[in-house]
Amino acid sequence: MLHGRDSGLHSRQNPRFSVDMCRDDALLTRRLLHDDIQLLGTELRIQRVIVERQHASAREDLNAFRTAPDL
């Protein structure tokens, strides 16, 4: 018979062990989610800059087309 963590007996014998593990997992998950949110925010800012530059370029092209002499 296995004893300790592998058999799950340790958490039944010591409920605090299980609570600590859950708390640690929750803290880690929270940190990872926070990091993901930070990365998504950065990615959105980058995408916004790209779209703004594309929009400005398209506006310049349209203005150049409008002011071009008729051939």
Domain extent, residue 16, equals 5-67
Burial of 11 (0-12, 13-18, 19+ CB in 10 A): middle
Tell me which residue of 57, 59, 55 sits closest to 47, measured CA to CA.
55
pTM, whole model, 2 decimals? Answer: 0.57
Residue 11: per-residue pLDDT: 52
Residue 56: per-residue pLDDT: 97
Number of domains, the chain:
1
CA dist list (Å): 25 to 1, 4, 14, 53, 56: 28, 19, 17, 42, 46
Tens-place pLDDT, residues 6-56? 555 555 566 677 888 888 999 999 999 999 999 999 999 999 999 999 999
CA dist list (Å): 59 to 17, 32, 52, 54: 62, 40, 10, 9
